[in-house]
Amino acid sequence: MIDSVKIAIDAMGGDNSPKKIIDGIIHNHKSNKNNFYKIFGDKSEILNYLNNEIDKSYYEIFDTKEKVKSTDSPLEAAKRGKKTSMWLAIESVKKKESDIVISAGNTGALLVISKLNLKMIENIDKPALSALWPNKTDMSVVLDLGANIECSSKNLIDFSIMGASLYKSLYPEKNPNVALLNIGSEELKGNEIIKETFQKLNEIKKKNFDFDGYIEGNEIMDGKVNVIVSDGFTGNVALKTAEGTANFIMDELKLALQGSLISKISSLLNISNLRKFKKRLDPRRYNGAIFIGLDAPVVKSHGGTDFIGFSNSLEVCNKIIMGNLIDKIKSNI
């Protein structure tokens, strides 16, 4: 049994950091005393924002003035050196001093530096970027969201196993059921790789999930499946489309409610339902993409999220470790 989850945190990545990061840590600590925060960044700034809000027994600061910039290419970030807050946080996991690493910084840099420091899980060829998506009943895990533009059938099968393991780690009381994102639900639809993957997933006897065949883009949020698998190109387009649609709905709703007097009265009468609707679409609830396939989990918080969103990502970190994600993947792959 894990006594506490040691989270390595790149405090200098993302917008408004390190203030946002430290505020997120403080907020997370209020509801979860099972996390130990290993904070990498400018110590003087970090202490200024911590302001004795957390007992010193719950955190440790590793002072570094260097950081990966949002404008750095992955190669530039790697060359920037081993003294950046991102590199040192990942290295902490490599040395088994931390259980998991999280950063709100440069995504490409995080993936490259993680691959330079951490080994792949045996028998997995490519890591995948996964995230949580809301559906009508609860949440789904979707992967790959951009780490791999081209995938073989083996890669997609690996993603299915890893995605199911992630879902089971986050929601241990539920059973994962997997579907392949495709242009139709019929067996003959799709390219040769996805059709080959379909056949192989139907034939594999030892699996840690139920296979539900294909799912189309307009069914992603129906809640009939909870693990959705695709190549990184398709998954990234689907993610950006969903994000754009959610933002469009929220913006149009705000405009409609700010219109006539009748609209304003109607919004007041329905304020409870509107709050529920807003909470359902709040991207902060689903913040935290997970880079899986390496021998330690790496979490990417959205760079533009606020401290609430970052706090939610820290909670995802806790669930991943408490749910023994890496062991689940190794036992099923």
Burial class (CB in 10 A: 0-12, 13-18, 19+), 87: buried
**What is the spatial distance between Cα 319 and Cα 310, in angstroms, rounded to a whole number?**
15
The answer to whether 168 touches 328, Cβ cutoff 8 Å, is: yes
Query: What pLDDT score does 297 carry?
Result: 92
> In the structure, how many helices (H) and strands (E) does the chain have?
12, 11
- Look at the alpha carbons of 329, 145, 198, 172 in this order and tell me if their dihedral is positive or negative: positive
Give residue 284's pLDDT band: very low, low, confident or very high (50, 70, 90).
Answer: low
Query: What pLDDT score does 271 carry?
Result: 61
**What is the spatial distance between Cα 77 and Cα 10, in angstroms, rounded to a whole number?**
14
If one counts every other C-beta atom within 10 angstroms of the C-beta of residue 244, the result is: 10
The answer to whether 79 touches 66, Cβ cutoff 8 Å, is: no
Q: Give per-residue pLDDT as tens, 118-128.
A: 999 999 999 99
Strands 139-143 vs 59-63: parallel, antiparallel or unpaired: unpaired
Mean pLDDT of 204-222: 87
Q: Give per-residue pLDDT as tens, 174-211.
A: 999 999 999 987 777 888 999 999 999 998 877 789 99
Query: What pLDDT score does 138 carry?
Result: 84
Residue 329 is inside which H or E element, if any? helix 325-332
Look at 18-27, 108-117, 202-211 and tell me which has the smallest mean pLDDT.
202-211
Q: Is the pLDDT of residue 1 over 60?
A: no
Query: What pLDDT score does 208 carry?
Result: 84
What domains are there in the chain, each with its CATH number?
Answer: 1-124+293-333 (3.40.718.10), 131-284 (3.40.718.10)
**What is the spatial distance between Cα 231 and Cα 157, in angstroms, rounded to a whole number?**
11
The radius of gyration of the chain's CA atoms, rounded to the nearest angstrom, is 21
**What is the spatial distance between Cα 154 and Cα 55, in angstroms, rounded to a whole number?**
47
Mean pLDDT of 67-90: 90
Q: Is the pLDDT of residue 2 over 70?
A: no
DSSP 122: T
**What is the spatial distance between Cα 124 and Cα 146, in angstroms, rounded to a whole number?**
17
The answer to whether 86 touches 111, Cβ cutoff 8 Å, is: no
Please state the three-class secondary structure of 31-96 as a single string: HCCCEEEEEEECHHHHHHHHCCCCCHHHEEEEECCECCCCCCCHHHHHHCCCCEHHHHHHHHHHCC
Q: The tokens of 73 are what?
A: 């290419």
Place of tokens 């594999």: 204
Give the residue with greater pLDDT, 251 vs 25: 25
Query: What pLDDT score does 134 carry?
Result: 84
Place of tokens 């904070």: 39
Helix (H, G, I), strand (E, B) or coil at 133: strand
The answer to whether 332 touches 157, Cβ cutoff 8 Å, is: no
The answer to whether 20 touches 104, Cβ cutoff 8 Å, is: yes
Give the residue with greater pLDDT, 218 vs 265: 218
Mean pLDDT of 63-83: 89
On whether the pTM is more than 0.75, the answer is yes
- Look at the alpha carbons of 281, 293, 125, 140 in this order and tell me if their dihedral is positive or negative: negative
The answer to whether 45 touches 53, Cβ cutoff 8 Å, is: no
The answer to whether 292 touches 8, Cβ cutoff 8 Å, is: no
**What is the spatial distance between Cα 261 and Cα 68, in angstroms, rounded to a whole number?**
50
The answer to whether 78 touches 112, Cβ cutoff 8 Å, is: yes
Q: How far is CA 316 from CA 54, 89, 109, in A?
A: 20, 17, 21
